[in-house]
Structure 1
Amino acid sequence: MNDRIQNTSLLTGFYLLVFTAAVFAVTTLLFLVNVTVTAANLFIALAATLAFVWFAAKTYFPDRYLLYFGISLLLSAVLFFMFIGVSGHYYDLSYDGQTYHQEGILQLAGGWNPFYDKPLGEQGVPYAIWIDHYAKAGETIAAALYAVTGQIELSKVFNFLLILASFFLSFAALAEVLPRKRGIAVVFALLLACNPVSIYQSLSFYVDGQLGSLLICLVSLSVLIYLRYSHYLMIAYALCMALAINNKFTAIAYVGIFCIGLVLALYIAQKHALLKKMLIVMSASAIIGAAILGFNPYVTNTVRDHNPFYPLAGEDSKDVVAAFTPTSFMTMNRFEEAIVSYFSQTEGNSTKRDETKLKTPFTFSMEELQYYGIPDTAISGFGPLFSGVLVLCLLVLIMSFLFNIPRTMVVLGLLAILFAAVFINYAAWWARYVPHLWLLPFIIALLGFSFQERKVIRGISSLMVGVLFINVAMVSYSYFSLQSNANRNLKHQLQTLKQAEQPVTAYFSYAFSNKNRFEEFGIEYKEAKEEPKCESGMELQDSGTIVCTK
């Protein structure tokens, strides 16, 4: 029974991850032959996913593969339609989401081929520097779904699909590590998947949360490959790699370090045959992911701007973090910045922050919770109780050293890999840029639970899990309640405009996505290029859009 549950979870994780990666791969491969986004892309990807899971089911359920293929397909389909409903109920009210993310989706769905067509910057498209040059897996998969549905907000469903994939795959991995502790495996997998960054970006088109989910998938697949290798795990690993490195520039470094971690583990365990296979898979995935699937931006950036990571590197590079960095951080190194950030009161991103305010671990204020209603919480971005979790992590590590040094050294080796993948980013103080730091307490909690005979350390580990659960619940409640209120206000405003005399005059500021919303509500408008002076009007919720009705 346990193996059936574990393998069903694995197949469901395959469905969700492979489908998302296949949508991206199909779309970009069609770009190579100069075919733009169409509704067919999604269905080609679905067919490829079904074929993959069909053969995987035959491996994991040789006697009853049809049943479990169907069960995992039904579960995946139910979750897909459930969360596509959630996604469509909410507008993305984030700054970046309403500017270049949604604009990129609309341009791709409208026929722009980033591999061959003229850069959008040469066509006068707003915020084109980010659309032209950034990695765009998130926008590509969203555009493919938008081509099918015609409703852009539904495309946020991929945020939830990757959260769910990280849950099912991490449960499969944890069930392998903890074969007699399925309850702990479920709780850990749920908390891992509910990374606060993934939660408070789930209703937006930001991609940091997607990357956090993908990195959890990658680590989970690494564990499964190490413990119970199969060709299907290897293929899923390769697809996860390719999708991640096209999600954000920084993912190349993160994925590379996690790959090194798996290579070292296989080498130490003297699994040399498997090591050779994985080196080939990793190398091929990196090359195909960057040079073919990532032709834009990595190749086009190199050709046009002489650096694959332009505009964040190279001539006239831009520092997108500097303006939001507290001035008090200027005298600190990246390690000190991270410690101060995660032990401080929660704050949103701001260009006017002089210093942060340290707080006592395990404490929080109601004011702090409002900052989890936005997708780019800057200070203490892993939740109001994360500093307390870090204190408990330190206690478990100290006690484990006293009880079993060799076991603790193994865990320190894992933490060294994780810290390398975190602090390679100079902005490790900002949670959205290092969402995989969320793995830290779970690695240490597993160490604590490994001491069967030591009730105190196991008790502290249990307390840590309890605090993590409360922390995630607080972030989730704050985010969804604040987003619900904001969306309710915006929908009321749009209904009011629909009943006003048409056409209205609209100055869209940065939120050109409101043009789509006007069309959906049947609101006729005349666009103003400068902010108008109104006798009667309103500013739309969280978008800077000014609308004059008179």
Structure 2
Amino acid sequence: MNDRIQNTSLLAGLSLLVFTAATFAVSTLLFLVNVQITAANLFIALALTVAFVWFAAKAWFPDNRVLYFGISLAIAAALFFIFLGVSGHFYDLSYDGQTYHQEGILRMVDGWNPFYETLGGTGAPYSIWIDHYAKAGETIAAALYAVTGQIELSKVFNFLLILASFFLSFAALAACLPKKRGLAAIFALLLACNPVSIYQSLSFYVDGQLGSLLISLVALSVLIYLRHNLYLIIAFSLCMMLTINNKFTAIAYVGIMCIGLVAALYITQKYGLLKKMLVAMTASTIIGVVILGFNPYVTNTIKYQNPFYPLAGEDAKDVVAAFTPTSFMTMNRFEEAAVSYFSASEGNSTKRDATTLKPPFTFSMEELQYYGIPDTAIGGFGPLFSGVLVLSLIILLMAFLFNIPRTMVVLGLLVILFASVFINYAAWWARYVPHLWLLPFIIALLGFSFDERKVIRGISWLMVAVLFINVSMVSYSYFQLQSEANRTLKTQLQTLKDSPQPVSAYFSYAFSNKNRMQEYGIEVKELLEEPKCGSKLELKDSGTLVCTQ
């Protein structure tokens, strides 16, 4: 029974991950042959996913393939439609989401092919970011938008990747802890509920997706190490290709994690598997960067001699500097991270001089409001994360006293994790390093490995409890604040819909709101400058001014 639950979880996770990756791959390959995004992209990806799961089901359920193939797809489909409804119920009220992320999605569905066309010079807003950033998140969203005609539904991929990371993590943890399935389920749930993924789930930000993808990649690495087969290697490759097209920094993160898997296979003398994985990793990198990532990596290199333009090379733009506390200017990246995660939570700001250190395990109600936005800058892993770090250190020190060789293995894993985190100079900002969330779970597993030591196991359970409370606080704050803001915006939109048409609107930074208002049935006359009418309505968190008189 346990193996059936574990393998069903694995198939469900693979279904969600492969569907997302296939949607991206199909769309970009069609871009390559100059075919724009249409509704067909999503259905081709769905057919490929069903075929993959059909063949994969035989590997884990040779005697009951049809039954568990159906169960796995049913779970994935049910969750898809449930969270499709959740996504459609909320408007994205984030700054970046309403600006270049949605603008890129709308342009793709309108026929823009980023492989061969640029928006720069056309007057398109935010063209420098849309043209030159990695855009897996926007591409998969555009494919679904082409089917539904409602852009907010496309946020469902945030939830699909959170769910995929849960199912894959449970399968990996259950394989490592065959007699502790309950603990595996708790760990998988908390891992998947990465605070960054949670407080970006109702927006078009992509850092939360990156966190879910990196957790999925780690889970697949564990499964491959323990019991590899062709389907796990294919899924690993697809996850690699999707991840490195999510954000520029993902290439470094994925590369270091691959080095970690290669090192583990080499040290344990699994040379046959090592050769297979080296081939898979090399092919995935080449395909992911050169073919699927033709835009931006190849096009940026051709035009600007740097694949990471405009964040690197001549005239590089530093998108973090303006939001960095001035007190960080004298610190190195390790000190910045330590101060950030041991300080009271704050949102991003261009006027912050210093952060406010606080005792671990404490929080204020004021802090919780900063988890209603998608880019909490200080203390971004939750108000109790500093307490989690303290408990992690205590467990690690105790483990050294009990079993040095076992602890050294975990230290090796932590070195790989820290290398992938601190390669980013902005490791103090949680959304830029969402995989730092793995840290306490690696150490907690070490603590639970000491079956005969009640104290270290007790502290490990305490850390799990604190993690649960931390995630609950972030989740409640985010969804409550988003619900309140959405109620306000929907009331405003209904007022405009009931007003004489058309309404005159100035969109400020959120040009994609033209599409939102049209979807709502509001006729719009766009104003090119802030209106001077007698009575104006500012749409909630949307930078849009509408004349009401």
Fold similarity call, TM over 0.5: yes
Aligned equivalent of 2:53: 53
Aligned equivalent of 1:254: 253
Aligned equivalent of 2:84: 84
Deviation at 1:526, TM superposition (A): 1.4
Tell me the distance in 2 between the aligned counterparts of 1:182 and 1:143: 38
What aligned pairs does 1:406-425 form with structure 2 within 5 A after superposition? 406-425=405-424
Structure 2 counterpart of 1:253, which letter? A
Tell me the distance in 2 between the aligned counterparts of 1:521 and 1:208: 28
TM-score by length of 1: 0.99
Structure 2 counterpart of 1:346, which letter? S
Please state whether the residue corresponding to 2:537 is helix, strand or coil: strand
Q: Is the 8 A contact 2:503 2:525 kept in 1?
A: yes
Aligned equivalent of 1:194: 193
Tell me the distance in 1 between the aligned counterparts of 2:96 and 2:59: 43
Deviations 1:495-531 (A, max 9, x none): 1111122222110001112111211222122111110
Deviations 1:230-278 (A, max 9, x none): 1000000000000000000000000000000000000000000000000
Aligned equivalent of 1:21: 21
Aligned equivalent of 1:347: 346
What aligned pairs does 1:499-514 form with structure 2 within 5 A after superposition? 499-514=498-513
Tell me the distance in 1 between the aligned counterparts of 2:176 and 2:451: 15
Q: Structure 1: any 5+ residue segments left out of the alignment?
A: none
Please state whether the residue corresponding to 2:120 is helix, strand or coil: helix
Deviation at 1:389, TM superposition (A): 0.2
Q: Is the 8 A contact 2:198 2:208 kept in 1?
A: yes
Q: Is the 8 A contact 1:501 1:549 kept in 2?
A: no
Aligned equivalent of 2:277: 278
Q: Is the 8 A contact 2:518 2:524 kept in 1?
A: no
Aligned equivalent of 1:41: 41
Deviation at 1:400, TM superposition (A): 0.4
Structure 2 counterpart of 1:55, which letter? F
Deviation at 1:410, TM superposition (A): 0.4
Tell me the distance in 2 between the aligned counterparts of 1:101 and 1:514: 12
Tell me the distance in 2 between the aligned counterparts of 1:536 and 1:78: 46
What aligned pairs does 1:134-533 form with structure 2 within 5 A after superposition? 134-533=133-532
Q: Is the 8 A contact 2:310 2:317 kept in 1?
A: yes
TM-score by length of 2: 1.00
Please state whether the residue corresponding to 1:281 is helix, strand or coil: helix
Aligned equivalent of 2:98: 98
Deviation at 1:189, TM superposition (A): 0.1
Q: Is the 8 A contact 1:507 1:527 kept in 2?
A: yes
Deviation at 1:534, TM superposition (A): 2.1
Tell me the distance in 2 between the aligned counterparts of 1:473 and 1:325: 28
Superposed structure 1 runs of 4+ greater than 4 Å apart = none
Alpha-carbon RMSD: 0.5
Q: Quote the sequence identity (%).
A: 82
Deviations 1:114-138 (A, max 9, x none): 1112x10121100010000000000
Tell me the distance in 2 between the aligned counterparts of 1:502 and 1:40: 35
Structure 1 counterpart of 2:116, which letter? Y
Aligned equivalent of 2:116: 116
Deviations 1:434-490 (A, max 9, x none): 000000000000000000000000000000000000000000000000000000000
Tell me the distance in 1 between the aligned counterparts of 2:84 and 2:229: 32
Structure 1 counterpart of 2:496, which letter? L
Tell me the distance in 2 between the aligned counterparts of 1:509 and 1:137: 26
Please state whether the residue corresponding to 1:121 is helix, strand or coil: coil
